[in-house]
Structure 1
Amino acid sequence: MEIRQLQYFVKVAKKQHVTQAAEELHVAQSAVSRQIHQLEEELGVPLFVQKGRNLQLTTVGKKFLGRMEQILRDLDRAVNEAREFLDPEAGEIRIGFPHSLGINLLPTVVARFRQLHPNVKFRLRQGTYNSLIRDVIKGELDLAFISPFPEQNEYVSGDLLLREELYAIVPEGHDLAQMGTIRLEQLKDEAFVMFSEEYSLRNIVLEACAKAGFVPQIGFEGEETDTIRGLVAAGMGVSLLPEMALTEISQLQPAKVRVTEPQVTRSIGLIQRTGEKLPHVAEVFQAFLRDFTLGNKKSTS
């Protein structure tokens, strides 16, 4: 059994199509088919069945895929660790992040870190709250920015980096657009533009509204901060967004108003798998991030 066979098998399992897998692997389709056939012969069981133009994993194939993905991840990590031993400055960091932190925080810290460590590579993956935690637990990510920070989770641990204020956003012509501050209850009769259910910011907004004594009327839903901001600016409703998501200027720009009763914040942290020994370069980045956020807290206090 060769590593190449396992790599081809995992790619075909993901694409469910030999031709598409071959294209991504930059090899001939016949080479992929041959390696899969040899692997099945060596194992003595079929790993795929034909379903129309696609291939689907058999029951054995699904179990085999889970094992092989972990083996290839471990192999990839072992290779990176060996390279880091020769040159710790040439490693790779696999890091996840939610969309709302990819607008400002992530690009800023990565750019600053690369000024100090120009040869370090980043493999980035955007995800939702639950998917980021899952990928850290599975070992597919070394670290993940996450919000809210999971205070109690036996499988992941990390650092609470900062707390960020959420602002009310309303259309420019709204009666509250020119107010310096508002109470959240002043929005109780408005239609809200909310994140979809899998996004953690939705729960933060719902909990804040509950504290203010009302259940928001949801008029529209979106999956990215840009979508929420654009819909509000277009007059489709109101919402609450983190300050970082409001720094970028766009053609459709809502009015931003501070909320004081209750003040709405979210926690932002960096997590890793509990008990996991991080690659050296990821530890360096982790320490850099602690200093970076600590410096920002001091400068704003």
Structure 2
Amino acid sequence: MDTHALSAFIEVADTGSFSRAGERLHLSQPAISKRIAALEDALGQPLFDRVGRRIDLTDAGRTLLPHARRVLAELEDARRALSRLSGTVSGRLSIGTSHHIGLHRLPPVLRSYTQAYPDVDLDIHFMDSEDACEEVAQGRLELGIVTLPGEPPEVLRMHTVWRDPLSVVVAPGHPLATSGSPSLRELAAHPAVLPDARTYTHRIVMRALQAHGVAPRIRLSTNYLETLKMLVAIGLGWSVLPRSMLDDSIVALDRPELALSRDLGAVWHRGRTRSGPAQALLGLLGVSV
């Protein structure tokens, strides 16, 4: 059975779309359709019901899906095991990381890595940490370098690489910047611009504020910390950002009772074989597994 066809089948099942599956696999929609048609011909049964724009798995498709996932996972494990047996660090390493970590933490690590292991093809995907963790859990990525979840899925192992202290920040001309040391109640009276509600960072901030009985008035939210920094700098509201992002465009407020921080680090699948390239990168990050 063609593994490329199985990959296309899984992506269509996961996304509910031939075009989105094509985007994930870097293929055209007709190419995806051709692979699905070939798989259906080989099995002698339709795998999807196509009603208008809706695509649903048939009974045959639902039966095949867990088997297809296991087949591809076993093949990927075999590839990783063989890469470790070869004695050389080479091949492909698929990584998911956030834009913030990719910009502010990973460059020196990846520079050292590519110099030490020039035969590794790095396949780097920039995405939200939450999505990267899910991709690793599903076996589509081998490693995630992410903001670590407070309650990770059971299938994931994780290791803290960097502690990332956070600060409440405002624009230099914001009323809170000139009021000495504003209370949390005063802070809550002003609009906030915070990370999106589905992010781990948002949950860290909200838990800390709620512990002090404070409910922020959120004006807007976004996943990108660089965008939040710009919104703070133009005076749209206060936010919580990593201290590593502080510069003259924003002012940190002294709120020691919050003691905000998050953990950044690596996640990998507990039950999957790690490749030689993955082991080498984890070693550079100070992870011993």
Q: Which TM-score band applies after superposition, normalised by the shorter structure? A: 0.7 to 0.9
**Alpha-carbon distance between aligned partners in 1 of 2:75 and 2:108, rounded to the nearest angstrom:** 31
**Alpha-carbon distance between aligned partners in 2 of 1:180 and 1:114, rounded to the nearest angstrom:** 48
Q: Which residue of 2 aligns with 1:286?
A: 282
The AA in structure 2 aligned to 1:16 is S
**Alpha-carbon distance between aligned partners in 2 of 1:241 and 1:69, rounded to the nearest angstrom:** 39
Over 3 Å counting, the alpha-carbon distance change for 1:202 and 1:5 in structure 2 is closer
Cα distance, 1:175 vs. partner?
A: 3.7
**Alpha-carbon distance between aligned partners in 2 of 1:124 and 1:142, rounded to the nearest angstrom:** 11
Secondary structure of the residue aligned to 2:208 is helix
**Alpha-carbon distance between aligned partners in 2 of 1:32 and 1:213, rounded to the nearest angstrom:** 52
Across the aligned residues of Structure 1 and Structure 2, the Cα RMSD in angstroms comes to 3.6
The AA in structure 1 aligned to 2:275 is P
Query: How many matched pairs?
Result: 285
Return 177-186 or 212-221, whichever deviates more. 177-186
Cα distance, 1:198 vs. partner?
A: 0.5
Q: Which residue of 2 aligns with 1:262?
A: 258
Over 3 Å counting, the alpha-carbon distance change for 1:38 and 1:124 in structure 2 is closer
**Alpha-carbon distance between aligned partners in 2 of 1:259 and 1:82, rounded to the nearest angstrom:** 52
The AA in structure 2 aligned to 1:163 is R
Q: Which residue of 1 aligns with 2:273?
A: 277
1:16 and 2:12 matched: no
Q: Which residue of 2 aligns with 1:228?
A: 228
1:128-182, Cα deviation, whole Å (9 max, x unpaired): 4543333333222322233345477643223222322112221221244378977
**Alpha-carbon distance between aligned partners in 2 of 1:42 and 1:2, rounded to the nearest angstrom:** 10
1:171 and 2:171 matched: yes
- Aligned positions of 1:156-195 closer than 5 A: 156-177=156-177, 184=184, 186-195=186-195
1:216-272, Cα deviation, whole Å (9 max, x unpaired): 12122222112211221222110111124447x9xxx43344532332211223222
**Alpha-carbon distance between aligned partners in 2 of 1:37 and 1:147, rounded to the nearest angstrom:** 40
Q: Percent identity?
A: 26
Check the 8 A contact 1:182/1:261 in 2, yes or no. no
**Alpha-carbon distance between aligned partners in 2 of 1:273 and 1:8, rounded to the nearest angstrom:** 22
Check the 8 A contact 1:128/1:198 in 2, yes or no. no
**Alpha-carbon distance between aligned partners in 1 of 2:279 and 2:145, rounded to the nearest angstrom:** 14
Over 3 Å counting, the alpha-carbon distance change for 1:126 and 1:258 in structure 2 is farther
Secondary structure of the residue aligned to 1:146 is strand
Return 229-238 or 265-274, whichever deviates more. 265-274
**Alpha-carbon distance between aligned partners in 1 of 2:12 and 2:148, rounded to the nearest angstrom:** 36
**Alpha-carbon distance between aligned partners in 2 of 1:140 and 1:263, rounded to the nearest angstrom:** 35
**Alpha-carbon distance between aligned partners in 2 of 1:117 and 1:85, rounded to the nearest angstrom:** 16
- Aligned positions of 1:87-106 closer than 5 A: 88-106=88-106
The AA in structure 1 aligned to 2:44 is G
Check the 8 A contact 1:49/1:55 in 2, yes or no. yes
Over 3 Å counting, the alpha-carbon distance change for 1:68 and 1:32 in structure 2 is same
**Alpha-carbon distance between aligned partners in 2 of 1:179 and 1:109, rounded to the nearest angstrom:** 41
Over 3 Å counting, the alpha-carbon distance change for 1:241 and 1:68 in structure 2 is same
1:125 and 2:121 matched: no
1:89-144, Cα deviation, whole Å (9 max, x unpaired): 21332222234322211233222222222222222234445433333332223222
Q: TM-score normalised to the size of structure 2? A: 0.79
Cα distance, 1:58 vs. partner?
A: 2.2
**Alpha-carbon distance between aligned partners in 2 of 1:127 and 1:207, rounded to the nearest angstrom:** 24
1:188-215, Cα deviation, whole Å (9 max, x unpaired): 3221111221111112211222344422
Identify unmatched segments of 5+ residues in structure 2. none
1:266-299, Cα deviation, whole Å (9 max, x unpaired): 12232222354311221121121018xxxxxxxx
Over 3 Å counting, the alpha-carbon distance change for 1:177 and 1:32 in structure 2 is closer
**Alpha-carbon distance between aligned partners in 2 of 1:33 and 1:85, rounded to the nearest angstrom:** 37
